[in-house]
Amino acid sequence: MHAAASVAAPAKRPRGRPRKTVDERDDGNRRRIVLRHAARLFRRNGFDATSTRDIAAAAGMRSGSPFYHFKSKQALLFAVMEEGMRSALQQQRDAMALAGMEALEPAAQLRLLVRNHFENLFGAGNDFIPVMLYEQRSITRAQRATLAALQGAYEGDWEPVLRALHAAGRLRADVKLARLMIFGALNWSVQWFDRRGEATLDDLADAALSLFLAEAP
């Protein structure tokens, strides 16, 4: 009798997703690098005056490399704005959770939100939000709608605080108008505030509250 031929068992496929290559693992990092340098240049020079060649040079890449991550300069601008708004919303939610927001009095809640907003404007990665504020004309209506939804979520965290202060007589203006004017005042500070000066972000927050709120009855 002939011995039965042995048949090798098929190799088992590894479970889960295949491992990423070094280039694939670094892809997200390079995208973030492009976003960071684009935000800085868009803020410093304006969208129209900034070329993708400028962005690539600042990021230490070849001139066409940004197009590997973004279809166009306009798409890159929107990505900067969206990243800034998503990061700001997450930072706000983190600050609220860390401080135990619900246990604070409404005035302390507003100070927390105002102080954190200044941190979003002037803290780490502070180029993103100013670009979103002042380059809206350069994005599409659909892109503006996406940002408006994120902005609505961000400002929505302020709504119950402002309503509580209004009910207590500390905020005398209509809540909607007060919210619009508060954000207008806070956001305009990017035009004049210099962190190298004597005033701190805490000083700004205290000054803002003294303007927005009436004394407790």
Q: Look up tokens 């900067």; give the residue.
A: 80
Are 187 and 133 in contact by the 8 Å Cβ rule? The answer is: yes
pTM (2 decimals)? 0.82
The reported pLDDT for the residue numbered 106 is: 97
Q: What percentage of the chain exceeds 70 in pLDDT? A: 87
Comparing CA positions, the residue from 82, 91, 135 lying closest to residue 117 is: 91
* Exposure b/e, 172-211, CB count within 10 A at least 16 = b: eeebeebbeebbeebbeebeeeeeeeeeebeebbeebbee
The reported pLDDT for the residue numbered 213 is: 96
Are 58 and 41 in contact by the 8 Å Cβ rule? The answer is: yes
The reported pLDDT for the residue numbered 140 is: 94
Tens of pLDDT, residues 84-120: 999 999 999 999 999 999 999 999 999 999 999 999 9
**Domains in the chain: ranges and CATH:** 73-212 (1.10.357.10)
